């Protein structure tokens, strides 16, 4: 990430007389990286069906994983009491359990680490006066979101511990969406911080189209969580048609008006596909506007980055469908969403009047 930022000219004069606080710069960079990492780890936790392996939430004692055979057996016995084990994994061995347990443990440990690495330096920088006052409300809001994210994570896990064999896809989507909102806020604050002495007034893309683009990308990510939570990527493993039709042949148009619209796997996959098409068309419209107007050419390099990432993301999405959500490809698809969001936030920032 540092290499990318270096070549995008994002850390202007970071070490000069006007900005002596390189520690704040690296702190923001580290937190942004850690949030990106936990989104990736969270995706793998979902793809490996590891999210329900730890059946309790211990804020402090849960920091230390099982270290003895007896403690591993005790954790395994807790897992045996939930429906996922009884219905899906009744033949699972202790060694197999250790694999899914460690994925979920890594996810939770990273969440705790982010909280500590975020709040302690934030308080220190605040007390030392190293942070501009205008950023403080946003920075503390992010910490509140981090705390809320921990609660939502446990709220999500609880949904799969009693009657369900999996977590609620609605709670999964909320959990993922909050993570991306945190990422967006962090990237925006980072960009504002490192560009605070580089203000200029430039023409903007009209109608706030970059913000609309970013909004639909975030909506697509939320719907993608529905796809993941319902294993909807494992049905209709064809493209561009869903089997032999554009609209799923197991649905009717009236299904669009059902209350459980987002609980129908084939419908969710259909919506996810078509939002992707809309995003690409919207991006093309933005590109045409920029390339036709000489005053907007300063945005061309950012559009190229988005085009490359968006094209790769669409390709990976198609491969995910064709392979029935094969783990390696699906995880790359998730990484692509992180990069796409970061570049889209960059376009939004660069399109603002004062940057």
Residue-wise pLDDT tens digits, 206-228: 889 999 999 999 999 999 999 99
Please give the structure tokens belonging to residue 267. 């419908």
pLDDT of the residue at 329: 93
242 forms beta bridges with 245
pLDDT of the residue at 2: 43
Q: Are residues 73 and 137 in the same domain?
A: yes
- Share above pLDDT 90 across residues of the chain, in percent, rounded to a whole number: 67
Q: Are residues 194 and 208 in the same domain?
A: no
pLDDT of the residue at 160: 86
Domain region containing 296: 202-355
Q: Are residues 251 and 152 in the same domain?
A: no
Each residue's pLDDT tens digit, 224-279: 999 999 988 888 899 999 988 999 888 888 888 888 889 999 999 999 999 999 99
Cα–Cα distances (Å) from 282 to 159, 270, 276, 341, in that order, read: 36, 19, 10, 15
Please give the structure tokens belonging to residue 93. 């061995």
pLDDT of the residue at 256: 86
pLDDT of the residue at 271: 94
pLDDT of the residue at 342: 97
Please give the structure tokens belonging to residue 313. 């993301």
The closest alpha carbon to 190, from 15, 39, 33, belongs to 33
pLDDT of the residue at 166: 85
pLDDT of the residue at 235: 85
Where a domain ends, among 177, 198, 219?
198
Beta-carbon contacts of residue 343 (< 8 Å; ≥ 6 apart): 302, 305, 306, 309
pLDDT of the residue at 354: 56
Q: Are residues 192 and 222 in the same domain?
A: no
Q: Are residues 216 and 349 in the same domain?
A: yes
Q: Are residues 189 and 213 in the same domain?
A: no
Q: Are residues 192 and 209 in the same domain?
A: no
The closest alpha carbon to 148, from 127, 171, 170, belongs to 171
pLDDT of the residue at 38: 96
Number of domains in the chain: 2
pLDDT of the residue at 16: 44
Q: Are residues 258 and 115 in the same domain?
A: no
State yes or no: pLDDT of 336 exceeds 50: yes
Cα–Cα distances (Å) from 324 to 228, 274, 319, in that order, read: 11, 18, 8
State yes or no: pLDDT of 48 exceeds 70: yes
Comparing 302 with 12, which gets the higher pLDDT? 302
Q: Which is it for the CA torsion 309, 265, 225, 161, positive or negative?
A: negative
Q: Are residues 188 and 241 in the same domain?
A: no
72 touches 66 (CB < 8 A):
yes
Where a domain ends, among 167, 198, 229?
198
pLDDT of the residue at 201: 64
Task: Report the pLDDT averaged over residues 83-102.
Answer: 93
Where a domain ends, among 170, 198, 226?
198
pLDDT of the residue at 197: 56
Each residue's pLDDT tens digit, 55-76: 888 776 678 889 999 999 999 9
- 236-267 residues labelled b (16+ CB within 10 A) or e (exposed): beeeeebeeeeebeebeeebeeeeeebebbbb
Task: Report the pLDDT averaged over residues 165-186.
Answer: 94
Task: Report the pLDDT averaged over residues 1-26.
Answer: 55
pTM recorded for the entire structure = 0.89
Mean of per-residue pLDDT scores for the chain: 89
pLDDT of the residue at 3: 42
CA distance linking residue 217 with residue 224, whole number of Å: 10
Q: Are residues 334 and 348 in the same domain?
A: yes
pLDDT of the residue at 18: 45
State yes or no: pLDDT of 5 exceeds 70: no
- 284-301 residues labelled b (16+ CB within 10 A) or e (exposed): eebbebbeeeeebeebee
Q: Are residues 89 and 211 in the same domain?
A: no
Cβ count near 46 (within 10 Å): 23
Q: Which of 17-31, 63-77, 167-181 has the lowest mean pLDDT?
A: 17-31
Q: Are residues 161 and 29 in the same domain?
A: yes
pLDDT of the residue at 138: 94
């Amino acid at each position: 990430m540092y290499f990318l930022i270096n070549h995008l000219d994002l850390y202007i004069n970071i070490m000069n007389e006007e900005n002596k606080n390189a520690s704040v710069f690296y702190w923001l960079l580290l937190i942004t990286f850690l949030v990106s990492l936990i989104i990736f780890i969270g995706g793998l936790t979902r793809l490996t069906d590891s999210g329900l392996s730890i059946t309790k939430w211990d804020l402090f004692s849960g920091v230390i994983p099982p270290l003895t055979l007896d403690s591993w057996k005790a954790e395994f016995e807790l897992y045996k009491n939930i429906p996922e084990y009884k219905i899906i994994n009744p033949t699972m061995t202790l060694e197999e359990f250790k694999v899914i347990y460690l994925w979920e443990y890594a996810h939770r440990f990273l969440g705790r680490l982010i909280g500590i690495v975020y709040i302690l330096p934030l308080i220190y920088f605040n007390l030392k006066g190293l942070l501009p006052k205008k950023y403080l409300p946003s920075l503390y809001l992010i910490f509140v979101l981090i705390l809320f994210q921990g609660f939502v994570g446990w709220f999500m896990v609880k949904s799969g511990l009693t009657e369900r064999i999996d977590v609620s896809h609605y709670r999964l989507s909320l959990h993922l969406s909050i993570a991306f909102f945190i990422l967006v806020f962090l990237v925006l604050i980072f960009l504002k911080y490192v560009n605070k002495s580089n203000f200029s007034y430039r023409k903007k893309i009209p109608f706030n189209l970059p913000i609309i683009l970013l909004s639909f990308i975030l909506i697509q990510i939320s719907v993608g969580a529905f796809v993941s939570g319902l294993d909807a990527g494992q049905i209709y493993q064809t493209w561009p048609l869903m089997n032999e039709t554009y609209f799923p042949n197991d649905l009717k148009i009236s299904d669009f008006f059902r209350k459980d619209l987002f609980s129908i796997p084939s419908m969710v996959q259909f919506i996810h596909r078509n939002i992707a098409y809309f995003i690409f068309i919207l991006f093309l419209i933005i590109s045409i506007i920029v390339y036709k107007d000489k005053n907007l050419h300063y945005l061309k390099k950012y559009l190229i980055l988005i085009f490359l990432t968006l094209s790769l993301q669409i390709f990976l999405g198609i491969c995910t469908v064709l392979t029935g959500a094969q783990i390696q490809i699906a995880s790359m698809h998730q990484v692509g969403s992180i990069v796409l969001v970061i570049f889209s936030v960059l376009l939004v920032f660069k399109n603002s009047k004062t940057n």
